[in-house]
Structure 1
Amino acid sequence: MEQPLLWFSIVLPCAVGALCFPFGRRSGYAVASSSAISFLIIGSFALPAIEGEVDHVQGFEWWGIQGAKVSFGLIVDPISVLMGLIVSFISIAVFIYSIEYMRNEEGPSRFWFLMSCFESSMLLLVFSDNFIMSFLGWEGVGLSSYFLIGHYYRDQKERWLGGPEGVAPFERPSICGEKALLTTGLADSLMLVGIMMIFSIYGTFDYLEIQTLASTKLVNPSYILAASLLLVMGPLGKSAQFPFNEWLPEAMSGPTPVSALLHSATMVKAGVYLVARVSPIFYSLSLISPVASSSFFLVAATAGLLTALIGSLYGMFALEMKKVLAYSTVSQLGFMFVALGIAGISGDPLLGLSAAIFHIFAHSIFKASLFLGAGSAIHVSHTIYITEMGSLVKKAPKTFVAMLISALSLCALPPLMGFWSKDAILAAVYPVNAIAAILLAMSSAMTCFYSVRLLWYTFVAPARKEAHEKEAWLLAAPALMLSGLTLLLGLFGQSIEHLISESLSHALDLVGPHNSGAYAALFLSAFALLSGLGTAYLMYFRRNRAALGLARLTAGMRESLMKRPVDRLYYGVARAVKAVSRSACSFGVFLDKSSQALARATLESARRLSRVHSGDLNRYLSIAGALLLLLIGFLLLVNLI
């Protein structure tokens, strides 16, 4: 009975979205209801998952390659159940929000169908027991993301992303969608090669079978190293980690519900989830090929650390409200990758793995709340720039409360959820690499700074423009509900962290942590919180001279970052490749024309020579005589010289 029920919860949202396509704006209620049903079904598996049970539901065979079967199988364990609950629950909140948001927007049927398809694809990715089925869900969420980012594909000027005029370049929604598809598509292609290499080694795509074989089967170290490095590229691309981090801020060109569900709470965490899913394979592989195993985790941790710093730095200077939150998302995903990487490098994988899973859970709730609140603020003020907002605390008080609580959770203020999850990551990282933990604390300090900056410009600063709309209750309510949840669950944060750790310990047969940097993590968290909040308070609320002087000193950095130097570097490389391609194409055309000209010349010569073979003896003698005279003349000329 378990398998049909779980399959029903996966397929239901997409099926309802397809059936409701003709009903346009009225589809929202049915799609939200289907998500609620999926949430309840997945929730029924929560208790066994909490106890650490792993249920491998074998499905029917799809196809086989050289004796290896690919089946529609599902895996039910603490990681998949928690992620499935996150996807379906956040979907409910976002769909309720979208009913009001899409009331006067274009393409409602297309929007609801693609959002429901995304949810089903994400659930398929989460519960699949093998690489191939996961890859189908992986590509499903990527395709849904592409269409939803480019939802305003007509590229009306008011839908452009970027600016303001003269400050930062603009991007059209259709181009933003293409950029996301191409960037993640490149990473996906590399990952697929890695998957096929792993299949060629172990002869199966099944996660649990590969995990069993990884600790016993001898493999070529260089080959498995290459497969590991290629495999990790997919998660880095999907979760917008360096060097694939530039696509996510551009994804904000889609409707706000898309940003909240796909590009903050769920889809961008698919990369983190996949690394967590295959981590036990690489824990086992460390017994046979420690270099390949450690390289996989080292690349993940290094990319995550760089992205955490880059995202926070950009977030401090961004002017578009949703872009501030997008850079924040990029940065927080970096924290998760560092935790997963440290889990594989250290001797205590449970500590880092449980910290990463906990942060996925916490971040999904408060970041979805922040994005929904941002949509409400944009709806009221009719501008996407925080510098053009101001004084919205009076016009949108419910939105202010929701965003205040969620922003403080992002800052890791105790006792909110964000404090416990970020503290768990620092505690896991510090004993293994203190420098990495300090750099993460610096990133966290910058996070605190831009969170206060966002709130001040949006709700406290003097209004630059008159607010045109009243606060819509249906837009504010889901954000309020999620912010209340991050506050409520934060009161039990330590218990939730312990519960996740115990569940993973039983499910993956991992030993509890021997060494935790809990006290160092507390110190680093306090440093980040006080320095970030304190600097922002002095700069924006007190207008302190020293703080304002610091702002003037960093003005050059702000102008440089607004021009997107990394993005411009990628465009420069693309233009260089395009120029080389054109040159190669021109050379190819030259070769084609040369060969054609040579063929024509040969044909013409043959045609002219054919006239000589006329059968006329007198003509033959005349030609022979002429050639003889030419030869005699040539010889005489040579003798004279």
Structure 2
Amino acid sequence: MDSSILAWLIWITPLAGALLTPIFAKIHSRLRDIAAVGFTLVAALLAAITALAVPARDYMVNWIPSLGITAGVLVDPLSLFMANIVAWISLLIMIYSVGYMKGEFGMTRYWFFMNLFIGNMLLLVLADNLLMMFFGWEGVGLCSYALIGHFYRDEPKHWVGSPGDKALGVSEEYSPTKAGMKAFVMTRIGDIALLIAIFLIFAFARTFNYNQLVAHVGDSGSWAANLARLGLLLPTALLFFGGPIGKSAQFPLQEWLPDAMTGPASVSALIHAATMVKAGVFLTGRMGPVFFIALSQFNQVSQFFGVIAWIGAFTALLAASQAAVAREIKKVLAYSTVSQIGYMMLALGMAGLSANFLAGYTAGLFHLLSHAVFKASLFLAAGWVLHVAESRFMDEMGGLAKAMKFTSASMLLAGLSLMGIPLFSGFWTKDAILSLSFLGGQYILYGLALITAFVTGFYTVRMLGITLAGKPSKHVEDLMEGGKHPHEAGLTMLIPYLLLAVGSLGLGLAYPLYSGPLTTYIAGTFSTTLYKFPAGISSASGLTDLLLLSVSTVVAVVGGAIAYLIYFRKDYVFKTGMNPIQRFLYKRWYLDAIYYRVFVTGLLAASRGLYRYVEQGIWNRLNNTIGRDIMDYSRASDQLDTQVVDRAANEVASYGSRLSNLLRKLQSGVTEQYVIAFAIGIILLLTYMLFVVGAT
């Protein structure tokens, strides 16, 4: 058997599982659940086997021969690195879902979209060309919309936002259906920009294939040169980056992700922590080297990669500051996800801004792996905390650590990795990004990233303190009085997030052992001579590295220590009365309200204005005037028709009738009279000819 079929089956298997889910549901719900997990397990095994046994190359088949378009799977280090992250973490989340979603309505729909999502995500990362990638890209967007709005009955317990919260008069509460639509619309903005860029590239390159784009990028008449000649190369690259901005929730399209927490915790872990929001990072990593080579020919590298780095650094700080005052546990994790993806974008931007492309590239991808593990653990554990506390608000939790030791330990381990505490995976990957920013001479970006590290330490310890430490809140006490005592999750839920938390620690402990080989493996993506940029890693002196490590660690610890003093030693009570800075952060910098005012309320007001002043004030009035004039014209035409045309026709007919009656009298029917008349006529004719014509 051709080994390449294994690579194809990685993404086909979950899609087949999605299509078969309704059939299994007809047979038995238990079979449906087991099969849904089973298809994900097969995809994960196929991804691992492909990484180990299938030769790296582009496996293509003809797709649209008339246009020279092929379909294919690209087996290379980057695609398999990402595919294995997606498949194996998805498997753990699917196992968790068996217990977490038990008894919920719409489970067939849930399993269908979960497997459909996994299949499209794997298609996205394995596709060898932009067109196939875009099918997967839009597929995960559709599934995200459906899964965010899974609880489409919009029961208040599934909403996000505090009741009555408003900013600039705009409600900050979102129902599942509204949140799903918001995510769908905001990500479409970036997708439109991405699609424009894809077709601009195809118009000049006549191919969507990644390797073919690289192969011809250095030619004098290449697609890049032709775009640059028209002044379109840099705009095309920036439009392309619009897709990752939307999908990975980066500024200015970041506002959809915090409200996407209306979906089940398993959905949040899968889509909004481990996989879909990483699609933008992956695509930037896939096409970033191509744009680096293209832009370097025209001295435009710094403009493009500078935009990536600055957006990443600003988004990281923006979202972290919002997490520091958030009331809902899943919103804290959502803001944290946006912030950590900002770190990844900063790393990929620094790849182009520094003298060492591969160092920034691998730093971003390593943090992607680290974040996928610890953030999935945090979301899954938070899902169980939400279930036990029967509330999404952290101030209605508290004191849960005593009854939920394993869950608390998991959240602590994953939280320490998020903070970047030594020995955890997040420590190494976050520090690599900060060090690269400093050593690359981007001191402002380094400062923003360092402040973000401080705030990250603060909000992580704050979340753990309010949720797990101290005394139980009144809400929890009321639940306990009603016989609902906090307890550990079942094994199908506990094992996945505990395994991920321990895995985050394991990745940190083993980092010195695998970082070098994994860097070499990822560098294999650029092993061909097509990629012409330095792939070696140069490091600063040991003392500088140690100082940078120490600074980032101390900053995170100080932030955590401040939060510990505030939230671990005191009972937390949410206060609506806030100082101006707290209120500014709590209201999300008013960005969400401004967007709503401008793009929703503003457009609605504009449409009402157009209806009132243009439709009714101009067009309707003009239509009425024209209609009235036409009616007057038709009445005048009727008068002309009846008084002139009809009367003339009638008169002509009357005279014709009289003439015919007169002529009828000459028609007697007597033959002799006709002969006499004929003779008279001949005589008159002869007379005329003799005397008139003859005389002439």
TM-score of the alignment, normalized to the shorter chain, above 0.5? yes
1:61 maps to: 62
Q: 2:357 aligns with which of 349, 356, 363?
A: 349
1:483 maps to: 501
Q: 1:244 aligns with which of 253, 268, 290?
A: 253
Report deviation, 1:519: 3.7
- Deviation track 1:104-126 (CA, whole Å, cap 9, x = no partner) reads 21111110110000000000000
Alignment of 1:464-543 (within 5 A): 464=473, 465-466=476-477, 467=480, 468=484, 469-473=486-490, 474-509=492-527, 510-516=534-540, 518-542=545-569
The separation in 1 between residues aligned to 2:253 and 2:216, in whole angstroms, is 32
Name the Cα RMSD after superposition: 2.4
Q: SS in structure 2 opposite 1:393?
A: coil
The separation in 1 between residues aligned to 2:352 and 2:422, in whole angstroms, is 28
Distance change in 2, residues 1:599/1:525 (3 Å): same
2:285 maps to: 276
1:427 maps to: 435
The alignment-based identity, stated in percent, is 36
Q: SS in structure 1 opposite 2:68?
A: strand
1:182 maps to: 185
Q: SS in structure 2 opposite 1:10?
A: helix
Q: SS in structure 2 opposite 1:71?
A: strand
Residue 581 (str. 1) matches residue 586 (str. 2): no
Kept in 1, the 8 Å contact 2:274–2:375? The answer is yes
The separation in 1 between residues aligned to 2:568 and 2:637, in whole angstroms, is 95
1:398 maps to: 406
Q: 1:256 aligns with which of 242, 254, 265?
A: 265
Q: SS in structure 1 opposite 2:153?
A: coil
Distance change in 2, residues 1:596/1:62 (3 Å): farther
- Deviation track 1:12-45 (CA, whole Å, cap 9, x = no partner) reads 1221232132244542222222222211111123
Equivalent position amino acid for 1:578 in 2: L
Distance change in 2, residues 1:125/1:612 (3 Å): closer
Q: Identify which range, 583-592 or 182-191, moves more after superposition.
A: 583-592
Residue 197 (str. 1) matches residue 200 (str. 2): yes
Report deviation, 1:317: 0.5
Kept in 2, the 8 Å contact 1:448–1:529? The answer is yes
With the length of structure 2 as denominator, give the TM-score of the two structures: 0.83
Equivalent position amino acid for 1:318 in 2: A
Kept in 2, the 8 Å contact 1:235–1:271? The answer is yes
Report deviation, 1:411: 0.6
1:232 maps to: 241
Structure 2 residue runs without a partner (length 5+): 528-533, 649-696
Equivalent position amino acid for 2:579 in 1: A
Kept in 2, the 8 Å contact 1:54–1:507? The answer is no
Kept in 2, the 8 Å contact 1:215–1:287? The answer is no
Report deviation, 1:194: 0.8
1:632 maps to: none
Q: SS in structure 2 opposite 1:56?
A: strand
Distance change in 2, residues 1:32/1:609 (3 Å): closer
Distance change in 2, residues 1:26/1:161 (3 Å): farther
Report deviation, 1:580: 2.0
Kept in 2, the 8 Å contact 1:25–1:108? The answer is no
Structure 1 residue runs without a partner (length 5+): 620-641
Distance change in 2, residues 1:164/1:499 (3 Å): farther
2:209 maps to: 206
Q: SS in structure 1 opposite 2:182?
A: helix
Kept in 2, the 8 Å contact 1:420–1:494? The answer is no
Q: 1:441 aligns with which of 440, 445, 450?
A: 450
Kept in 2, the 8 Å contact 1:438–1:524? The answer is no
Residue 555 (str. 1) matches residue 579 (str. 2): yes
Q: SS in structure 1 opposite 2:243?
A: helix
Kept in 1, the 8 Å contact 2:7–2:75? The answer is no
Report deviation, 1:165: 4.8
Equivalent position amino acid for 1:566 in 2: L
Number of residue-to-residue matches in the alignment: 607
Distance change in 2, residues 1:290/1:68 (3 Å): farther
- Deviation track 1:41-97 (CA, whole Å, cap 9, x = no partner) reads 111233479xxx741111x22225xx6422221111111111100111111110111
Equivalent position amino acid for 1:304 in 2: G
2:662 maps to: none
Q: Identify which range, 331-340 or 516-525, moves more after superposition.
A: 516-525
The separation in 1 between residues aligned to 2:608 and 2:50, in whole angstroms, is 56
The separation in 2 between residues aligned to 1:601 and 1:165, in whole angstroms, is 55
Kept in 1, the 8 Å contact 2:312–2:341? The answer is yes
The separation in 1 between residues aligned to 2:471 and 2:581, in whole angstroms, is 26
Equivalent position amino acid for 1:404 in 2: L
The separation in 2 between residues aligned to 1:592 and 1:521, in whole angstroms, is 69
Residue 27 (str. 1) matches residue 36 (str. 2): no
2:98 maps to: 99
1:414 maps to: 422
Kept in 2, the 8 Å contact 1:153–1:173? The answer is yes
- Deviation track 1:551-577 (CA, whole Å, cap 9, x = no partner) reads 999733222333341110001112222
Report deviation, 1:610: 5.3
Report deviation, 1:476: 1.7
Kept in 2, the 8 Å contact 1:416–1:490? The answer is yes
Report deviation, 1:478: 0.9
Distance change in 2, residues 1:201/1:295 (3 Å): farther
Residue 358 (str. 1) matches residue 375 (str. 2): no
The separation in 2 between residues aligned to 1:224 and 1:431, in whole angstroms, is 29
Q: 2:471 aligns with which of 462, 465, 484?
A: 462
The separation in 2 between residues aligned to 1:194 and 1:86, in whole angstroms, is 28
The separation in 2 between residues aligned to 1:212 and 1:78, in whole angstroms, is 18
Equivalent position amino acid for 1:79 in 2: L
Kept in 2, the 8 Å contact 1:354–1:497? The answer is no
- Deviation track 1:160-218 (CA, whole Å, cap 9, x = no partner) reads 21115558832111000000000001110111001111111211111111112222222
Q: SS in structure 2 opposite 1:62?
A: strand
Kept in 2, the 8 Å contact 1:308–1:334? The answer is yes
Q: SS in structure 1 opposite 2:296?
A: coil
Q: Which has the larger radius of gyration?
A: 2
